[in-house]
């Protein structure tokens, strides 16, 4: 590849050499060595090109066939909740797998700042061991201040900001505010009053940022609570969670909520799963982006279980992202077809179609719904193989390279941060995930067994295996 250097010839703090450096740059370039200096990437190139930056005090790591990725970005992960649940996961209970994880007692409610900080730091340690250096905490706010778990209230935003300021947070965190209930009811007045009355903590530059608003539009297809064009077996179509007297009022309220959050300058992530909901949300995003281009947007559909081709086209044209979980696709497809029939399968988790249409695609764990292990997420996106060994949605399989972009540079876009993180290019922050093997040369099903050797955040090693 092209020799890309910065002018500064002074010695690097760290050089990783003799492996495969997957840069995730726009050309998808692969290099042999990378140098880190003062928290930034100093040089990326061949071993010979990087060698001049090795000084007497430079630590040199021989990769020996290993690889380097940009630090992984899990763009939808409930950090406080994960810290209280781990190693228990919700999906294990649903799928009946991993029985040893099911027998934990229900967690006590998080009451104090100390409780929440402990949960956040437990998550941070776990994520560092997985090579994850950024995540989005999708929904903390006044709507859940009295919630039963204490995991989603507004106080956690302050705890995150404190931990970031104290230098204790080993991942960069983007948060979305929640003015309704998690997976529950919300209203236009709740959102507009919340936006007026609630002041989130100030950004901690590069480390913690409250970027916008999370809205729950509908439920999920297996529960017949997703709002669909196609009828469920009992003839119903589900509906929106947003308050309103009838379906028309609820739709109008949802659109008005999107308009209000956009007008206030926020990024918006909307939980939307049914084919009707995803279309209404995509059209509302497109319309408000067109009407009020001052807000840079980067709005996105979360989950998007059912997405029609027209909806994907609307999203691509307006620059609306899709944030989804391939493991939910392979784990719940049978429940989806039980609820809506096999006729919906062509529009179920159409990840390859989304990329082909030009939709910015982010893959995420939704942990603790699923494991925060992104290697399992990549394997699911590439194989579409469930725990029972069956393949679901074969035509929507991604390549490993596509899946890795959905965990690195595209979520950096979602964070509004693609100019300074998400790829391995000189000048960008040194957030790295170092693996013992090359994921592009690994049998996809075996990806979860590739060990993480080292995790670096901003030039600092936060995990070493
Ligand atoms: Zn979630």
Distance (Å, whole) CA 174 – CA 406: 17
Q: What is the mean pLDDT of residues 182-190?
A: 94
Question: Cα of 111 to ligand 1 centre, how many Å?
Answer: 21
Question: Cα of 64 to ligand 1 centre, how many Å?
Answer: 38
Which of these, 165, 130, 13, lies nearest to 462 by C-alpha position? 130
Name the token pair of 5.
Answer: 């250097």
Question: Cα of 69 to ligand 1 centre, how many Å?
Answer: 25
Sign of CA dihedral 266, 272, 276, 278: positive
Could you count the other beta carbons within 10 Å of the beta carbon of residue 147? Answer: 16
Question: Cα of 78 to ligand 1 centre, how many Å?
Answer: 6
Instruction: Decide: pTM greater than 0.85.
Output: yes
Q: Per-residue confidence at 106, pLDDT binned at 50, 70, 90?
A: low
Expressed in angstroms, the distance from the first to the final Cα of the chain is 30
Torsion over CA of 63, 172, 151 and 118, rounded to 10 degrees? 70
Question: Cα of 324 to ligand 1 centre, how many Å?
Answer: 10
Question: Cα of 321 to ligand 1 centre, how many Å?
Answer: 16
Torsion over CA of 223, 225, 226 and 228, rounded to 10 degrees? 110
Question: Cα of 218 to ligand 1 centre, how many Å?
Answer: 13
Question: Cα of 204 to ligand 1 centre, how many Å?
Answer: 24
**What does the DSSP 8-state code read for residue 343?**
G
Question: Cα of 31 to ligand 1 centre, how many Å?
Answer: 35
Reported as a single tens digit per residue, the pLDDT across 64-102 is: 999 999 999 999 999 999 999 999 999 876 655 443 433
Question: Cα of 375 to ligand 1 centre, how many Å?
Answer: 19
Q: How much is the pLDDT for 101? A: 38
CA-only gyration radius of the chain, Å = 22
Q: In 66-223, which residue ranges form alpha helices assigned H by DSSP?
A: 79-85, 90-95, 113-129, 155-165, 188-197
Question: Cα of 366 to ligand 1 centre, how many Å?
Answer: 5
Domains of the chain in sequence order: 4-69+427-464 (2.30.40.10), 72-414 (3.20.20.140)
Q: Per-residue confidence at 4, pLDDT binned at 50, 70, 90?
A: low
Q: How much is the pLDDT for 8? A: 85
Q: How much is the pLDDT for 1? A: 43
Question: Cα of 229 to ligand 1 centre, how many Å?
Answer: 23
Question: Cα of 138 to ligand 1 centre, how many Å?
Answer: 6
């Amino acid at each position: 590849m092209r020799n890309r250097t910065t002018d500064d010839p002074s010695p690097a703090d760290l050089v990783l050499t003799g492996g495969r450096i997957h840069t995730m740059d726009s050309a998808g370039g692969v290099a042999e060595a990378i140098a880190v200096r003062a928290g930034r990437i100093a040089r990326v190139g061949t071993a010979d090109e990087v060698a001049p930056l090795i000084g007497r005090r430079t630590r040199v790591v021989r990769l020996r066939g290993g690889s380097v990725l940009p630090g992984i970005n899990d763009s939808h992960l409930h950090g406080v909740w994960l810290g209280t649940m781990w190693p228990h996961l919700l999906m294990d209970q649903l799928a009946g797998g991993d029985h040893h994880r099911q027998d934990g007692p229900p967690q006590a409610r998080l009451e104090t700042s100390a409780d929440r900080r402990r949960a956040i730091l437990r998550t941070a340690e776990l994520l560092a061991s997985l090579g994850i250096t950024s995540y989005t905490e999708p929904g903390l706010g006044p709507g859940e201040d009295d919630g039963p778990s204490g995991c989603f209230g507004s106080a956690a935003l302050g705890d995150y900001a404190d931990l970031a300021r104290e230098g204790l947070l080993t991942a960069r965190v983007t948060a979305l505010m929640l003015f309704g209930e998690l997976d529950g009811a919300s209203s236009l007045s709740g959102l507009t009053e919340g936006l007026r009355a609630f002041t989130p903590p100030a950004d901690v530059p590069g480390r913690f940022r409250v970027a916008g608003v999370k809205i729950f539009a509908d439920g999920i297809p297996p529960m017949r609570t997703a709002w669909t064009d196609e009828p469920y077996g009992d003839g119903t179509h589900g509906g929106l969670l947003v308050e309103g007297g009838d379906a028309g009022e609820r739709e109008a309220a949802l659109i008005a909520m999107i308009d209000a959050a956009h007008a206030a300058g926020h990024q918006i992530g909307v939980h939307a799963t049914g084919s009707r909901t995803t279309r209404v949300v995509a059209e509302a995003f497109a319309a408000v982006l067109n009407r009020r281009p001052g807000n840079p947007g980067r709005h996105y559909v979360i989950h998007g279980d059912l997405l029609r081709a027209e909806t994907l086209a609307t999203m691509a044209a307006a620059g609306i992202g899709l944030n989804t979980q391939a493991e939910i696709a392979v784990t719940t497809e049978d429940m989806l077809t039980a609820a809506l029939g096999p006729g919906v399968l062509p529009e179920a988790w159409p990840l390859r179609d989304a990329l082909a249409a030009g939709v910015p695609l982010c893959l995420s764990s939704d942990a603790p719904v699923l494991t925060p292990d992104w290697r399992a997420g990549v394997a699911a996106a590439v194989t579409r193989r469930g725990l029972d060994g069956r393949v679901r949605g074969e035509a929507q399989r991604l390549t490993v390279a596509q899946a890795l972009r959905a965990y690195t540079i595209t979520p950096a876009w979602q964070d509004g941060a693609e100019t300074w993180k998400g790829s391995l290019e000189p000048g960008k922050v040194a957030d790295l995930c170092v693996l013992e093997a090359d994921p592009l040369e690994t049998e996809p099903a075996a990806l979860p067994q590739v060990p993480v050797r080292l995790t670096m955040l901003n030039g600092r090693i936060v995990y070493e295996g």
